[in-house]
Amino acid sequence: MSPPPSRPPDGAVICSAKGCRTDATLALLWNNPTLHTPQRRKVWLACDEHAGSLSDFLSRKGFLKDRVPVAEITDEMG
């Protein structure tokens, strides 16, 4: 399964990994209960290369809530 060639209209979906400028394909939704209310979702964007390491990092901390394609995230998130 490969990501669709089309991009979200604003085009500003770059991977959140440090130093990475690749277009993100996946959005990691997470919440740090010591900083955020339970309903709050922070979003990290990840390219194919960094999706695994970023989601591993968040799930080790118990912060990871969901993983969705970047096309499904909205401006209210983040």
- Which residues are near Zn ion by CB under 5 A? 15, 17, 20, 22, 47, 50
Shortest Å distance, C-beta 46 to Zn ion: 6
**22: nearest Cα among 2, 43, 45, 47:** 47
Q: Is 28 exposed, middle or buried (0-12, 13-18, 19+ CB in 10 A)?
A: buried
- In the bound state with Zn ion, the residue whose beta carbon lies nearer, of 29 and 54, is 54
CB of 36 to Zn ion, least distance (A): 24
CB of 15 to Zn ion, least distance (A): 3
